[in-house]
Structures are given as structure tokens and as C-alpha cells.
Amino acid sequence: MSETPLVDTPLHIAMSTGHDHFALEMMKLKPSFSGKLNPQGLIPLDLALQKKEGLSSSDSALPNREALSPKDLALRNRLTLTIRRLINFDKELIRIKGRESFTPLHYVAKRGDIDLLAEFLCACPESILDRTIRDETTLHIVMKNSKLQAFKVLLGCLHRIR
């Protein structure tokens, strides 16, 4: 399976369905799955971020935090913890380019998830220089999507590393 290009691995399936404990165990047993692209051009970390976003109330999809059921809130918190563990396991996951050379860092910047954005940048500061196929950096993406808080986080990071 590691040799086959563009396939959903068990890690992809675990992350997209929110089975975080199984996903973490799979990462330990078969680390090569963590950087493998599925047919949609996504790595398991991308799927975890998308799943978390689907449960997020920080965007316009849900007006306030009370709108989340306790079950969804617990799943979102578990996914956030799993994402952090994946990054601690392999910081380079932040830089893996998927469809249109979009990285997980680009995704959290686009969504305006400032907590994960800051964590990703602390874990892998050089990822701030990664570009999409449209030659956009993370800074371009936050500006294009009007994410002011994310812009401030990026400026702080640039100030520290430059």
C-alpha cells in the first residue's frame, strides 16, 4: 500500500471518520501513511483539519459555541488534540503539498484558525515560505480571506524569524 500512489490508507479513513486513537496507533505502526496523498490530493492531517472544521463554531457556519452538541464539541476537541499529536510526531507534515500545492499550514491560514496556525508556525517556522501553485504564501492566503487575526500571527512569526 505504501508503494501505491493516491490511495486512501487506513490512516486516511481513521482521520476522516474521527477515530483519533486508532489514527495515532496507525501513525506509530506505519508512519509512511501520514504523508501519503489520497485520490483527492489530501494527507490524513488535511482530513483531520477538514473534519474539525466541519464541527467548528469559529466560522460563519455556526453562530455561537452553544450551537455544538456536547458530542460534537468532544469530537472537535479530540481532533484538535490528534492534530497536535500528529504534528509532534512529524513536524514536516505541515509542509506536505497536496492538490494545488496547498499545505496544512495554508489550510489553517485560510480558515483563520489562529491557535493551530501559531502551533504550526512554532513547530515548523520555515513553512511560512511555502507557496501554492498560484505562487501564494500563507500571508497572501490570510489577506485574500480577510483573516486579520491570522495576519497578525503571521506578522509576529515573520518578525521573530527575520
pLDDT of residue 63: 45
Query: Greatest CA separation found in the chain?
Result: 45
Specify the number of domains making up the chain.
2
pLDDT of residue 16: 87
Q: Which residue has the cell 482521520?
A: 15
**Do 80 and 117 sit in the same domain of this protein?**
no
The rounded distance, in Å, linking the Cα atoms of 65 and 56 is 8
Q: Domain boundary at 89, 112, 128, which?
A: 89
**Do 147 and 85 sit in the same domain of this protein?**
no
Q: How confident is the model at residue 66 (pLDDT cuts 50, 70, 90)?
A: low
Please report, as a single letter, which amino acid is at residue 107.
Answer: Y
**Do 54 and 74 sit in the same domain of this protein?**
yes
**Do 98 and 157 sit in the same domain of this protein?**
yes
**Do 82 and 160 sit in the same domain of this protein?**
no
Q: Domain boundary at 89, 104, 125, which?
A: 89
> 77 pLDDT exceeds 50?
yes
Q: Domain boundary at 37, 55, 89, which?
A: 89
Print the domain residue range for 80: 1-89
> 97 pLDDT exceeds 90?
yes
**Do 95 and 159 sit in the same domain of this protein?**
yes
pTM of the model: 0.85
**Do 95 and 85 sit in the same domain of this protein?**
no
**Do 9 and 59 sit in the same domain of this protein?**
yes
**pLDDT over 70, % of the chain:** 90
The mean per-residue pLDDT over the stretch 23-37 comes to 91
> 59 pLDDT exceeds 50?
no
**pLDDT over 90, % of the chain:** 64
User: What's 104's domain CATH number?
Assistant: 1.25.40.20
